[in-house]
Homo-oligomer: A and B are copies of this chain.
Amino acid sequence: MSQTRPPVEVTPIGVVRSPFTRPQDAPKQGPERDTESIIEIDPAWQEGLSHLEPGSDIWVLCHLTPRLPLAMLVHPRGDAHAPRRGLFTTRSPHRPSPISLTLVHLNSLEAGRLKVRGLDMVDGTLVLDIKPYVAMVDRPRKYEA
């Protein structure tokens, strides 16, 4: 593999608490996506949660721990029967920058603890960022967060 760039650092702001202890147990789709998880934001950053509205949708970016060697062609959804595709057209967690992007529903928020629906992360996953969700209907090119 050709030379790659030096890594850059990012700082986790908290951690996921969920009933899932193994990646294969975290539901990718289906009704179990509705399982509630908790995001615990570290005290240093909790004031940054001001004005977050329970009932809204938010983006959650997590730092994943790749379990496989990096491959540029992968089976989508880990399905060995599906033809391999370019990594960047898939949601594989095994990426040069293993950052997940998940839109979740904020059920409630209290003292730095966000109860969310739709976050399929194993317990202990590091949270890198939270961003506001902006509806993209009719103006997909204008969205940025």
Residues of A within 8 A of B (CB): 1-5, 7-13, 28-29, 33-34, 42-52, 57-59, 61, 63, 72-73, 85-91, 95-105, 117-118, 120, 126, 128-133, 136-137, 140-145
Instruction: Find out whether the CB atom of B50 lies under 8 angstroms from the CB atom of A73.
Output: yes
Report how many copies the assembly holds: 2
Chain B's closest residue to A15 (CB) is: B5
Instruction: Find out whether the CB atom of B140 lies under 8 angstroms from the CB atom of A103.
Output: yes
Chain B's closest residue to A134 (CB) is: B91
Q: Could you jot down 28 A-B contacts, CB within 8 Å?
A: A3-B44, A4-B11, A8-B63, A9-B9, A13-B96, A29-B142, A34-B141, A45-B96, A46-B72, A48-B72, A49-B88, A50-B72, A50-B89, A51-B89, A52-B88, A52-B89, A57-B140, A61-B97, A88-B129, A88-B131, A88-B132, A91-B144, A99-B128, A100-B144, A100-B145, A101-B144, A103-B143, A117-B141
